[in-house]
Structures are given as structure tokens and as C-alpha cells.
Amino acid sequence: MSPQPNSRRLTRDPKYITIRNLLRDRILSGRYGPGNRLPSESALMSQFAVSRVTVRLALGALRDVGLVESRQGKGYFVRPVRAIQDLGRLQGFGEMMAAVGIQARSAVLSVAETPASSEVAKALRVERTAPVIAIHRVRIGAGTPLSYDISYFPVDIGRQLTGQDLADADIFALLERNSGLDLAYADLQLGVVAADETVAPHLGVSPGESLICITRLTYNQNGRPIDFEYLYSRQDVFQFRIRVPRW
């Protein structure tokens, strides 16, 4: 009896992908913590019954997403979890972390209506002290606090976010999926600031320690500013990437 056309199993992932995924899961679970050396190439070849080329492809894939680094003559070592911000794209935190296979989440500290400061009012084009919605969150990847975010929204937009899943979903995704907003572009500024007594304990640093601060103002397709944010992170957990043309 001939097999049915759909009875065959789908093609499996290449072996190096399977090994990459297994090692990635061990890294993210803490079995191989930051600074730990991964098993040698020979040990991995024996464990998975594969060639050295396959093992090197798996290790190279982990290195490409920033989870490990190679040290000449010593092997591969686990790097601290880092968020890689592509400055040429408008991305939410979850989208950044998904690129390295890490599921992101947020500890939501507060969601409240508050009077707009001068800077917030100017950014969102509202009157000073006009009500805006402020959301404070700690963004977490693989159990590591990576940034402290303060986001401000005009009340008509911010009120749509209250009661939504701010812990497990990106605000960008919620705005696009649930509020029907089309996000278009953002203006970003990068700087270094001293951690204050509010932010410092959430990022595991001392007050006064230097932090990266990204100020981001996001617009919809009609050019309306809808999301003004301060994103604070330790200097060792964020990397930035941008492609710059010659002309």
C-alpha cells in the first residue's frame, strides 16, 4: 500500500539549528550562566554525534545573536544578556529580544494619569499640565532587568492601554493591533545620565552610576506624536547597531 501524499514527516531542522536551540535554552535557563564556558567542540561532537563543522555552525549562530563569545584557544563563553537596538528600525523591546530567541516581559510599576511636564507637553503637543497617561515599566529578558522605561501618551491613546496586557506585550504591538494605530517613525536621542534613586534599584546599580538614556518620540502615519519615552539602561546590557551609507 503506497503512503498517502501527506503522511510523510515534514523536513526536520538542520542539525546545527537543533544544537543551537538546545544550547540557547540551556543559556537562557541559567544552566550555563554568564561567564561560563560551554562544552568543548569535541565534547559537543560526541554528545550529539555530529561533525565539527555542524558544531561550529551552531556555536557561530549563538555568537551571531550575542549570546556567546569565542576566545582564541579557550573556547566559547556565555555573555551577559544584551538588548541590541537597531537604530535604523522602529522596534519594541519584545521585537529586539525575539531576534536573539529571548521572550521578553515587563514588570509594570504604575499606570496613571498625570500632569504633563514642560518637556512632555512640548513633545506630545499638549498644554503644559494637561493630563497625559504615564506608564512606568522594568523591561526584563531572560530574568535580567535590562531597562527602565517611562512612557507618556495623550489621554485618548493612553486610556486605551489601561487594562491591557502590558506585562507580556509590547506597547507598539498593542497600539497597532488593538487600537488600530499605524506607527510611522520615531525621533531618538542618546545620552548618558546619572541613575537617580528611583531608577537605580530596579537596574541593580547605585545612585549616581552612569546609565544610557534613550529619549524616543514616536509618531503615527498622520505625523501626530503619540508616545514619548525615556528608556534607561545599564551600559553593559545595551548595544546599538546602524547601517550608514557612504553618500
| 113 & 56 share domain | no
Q: What domain range includes position 97? A: 83-241
**pTM for this prediction:** 0.72
pLDDT at 152: 97
Average pLDDT over residues 1-25: 67
CATH of the domain at 29: 1.10.10.10
Do residue 94 and residue 55 come from a single domain? no
Question: Are 52 and 127 in a shared domain?
Answer: no
In the listed set 32, 63, 78, which residue is the last one of a domain according to the structure?
A: 78
Note the pLDDT of residue 6: 43
For CA atoms 232, 227, 215, 28, give the dihedral sign.
Answer: positive
Residues 41 and 148 reside in one and the same domain: no
pLDDT of 7 > 70? The answer is no
Nearest-angstrom CA–CA distance, 90 and 171: 12
Together in a domain, 132 and 182: yes
Q: Residues near 191 by Cβ (< 8 Å), separated by ≥ 6? A: 212, 213, 215
Confidence of residue 84 (pLDDT cuts 50, 70, 90): low
Tell me, yes or no, whether 23 lies in a domain: yes
34: in domain: yes
- The answer to whether 225 and 217 have CB atoms below 8 angstroms apart is yes
Determine the residue type at 65: V
Whether residue 202 is found in the same domain as residue 162: yes
Domain C-terminal end among 78, 109, 132:
78
Residues 73 and 177 occupy one common structural domain: no
The stretch 202-217 carries a mean pLDDT of 92
Residue pLDDT, tens place only, 47-67: 999 999 999 999 998 888 778
Do 52 and 103 fall within a single domain?
no
Residues 235 and 120 in one domain: yes
Which amino acid, residue 170?
Answer: D
Same-domain status, 112 and 232: yes
Tell the residue number behind the cell numbers 584557544, with chain if given.
73
Over range 210-235, report the average pLDDT.
Answer: 92
Q: Where are the beta strands (DSSP E) in 116-143?
A: 131-141
How far apart are the C-alpha atoms of 131 and 114, rounded to whole Å? 5
- Same domain (yes/no): 161, 51: no
3-state SS assignment for residue 109:
strand
Q: Which of 209, 205, 208, 225 is nearest to 217 (CA)?
A: 225
Distance CA 94, CA 125 (A): 28
For the chain, counts of helices (H) and of strands (E)? 8, 10
- Count of domains forming the chain: 2
Q: Is the pLDDT of residue 230 over 80?
A: yes
- Can you tell me the distance from the alpha carbon of 209 to that of 124, in angstroms, rounded to the nearest whole number? 30
CATH number, domain at 153?
3.40.1410.10
